[in-house]
Amino acid sequence: MRRSRIIPLAFLPDGAKGIVRGIAGGYGVRRRLYELGFVEGTEVIVVRNMGAGPLIVSVYGSRLALGRGVAMKVLVEVGS
């Protein structure tokens, strides 16, 4: 049986994929991330996560840089 868990995007390593399940933030953060394509059910791929500084992620084929604080607000589902 395959189990999934929901964690902040900032915890995913390079090359990992996750499905957006929610945004834990205020209206402004949620709206901005929605405009960038972070909609529930969207697949996100971590291109680079060096452990400090911004993450580079791919959403709908576009690469975006997210600050670590914002990446902590994006909740993604990953299979284990």
Q: Which domains does the chain have, with CATH numbers?
A: 4-66 (2.30.30.90)
Distance (Å, whole) CA 23 – CA 70: 9
Distance (Å, whole) CA 78 – CA 35: 23
Q: Please give the residue that has the higher pLDDT: either 80 or 67.
A: 67
Residue percentage of the chain with pLDDT more than 90: 86
pLDDT digits (tens, 9 = 90+) for 4-43: 799 999 999 999 999 999 999 999 999 999 999 999 999 9
Task: Evaluate whether 45 touches 58 at the Cβ level (below 8 Å).
Answer: yes
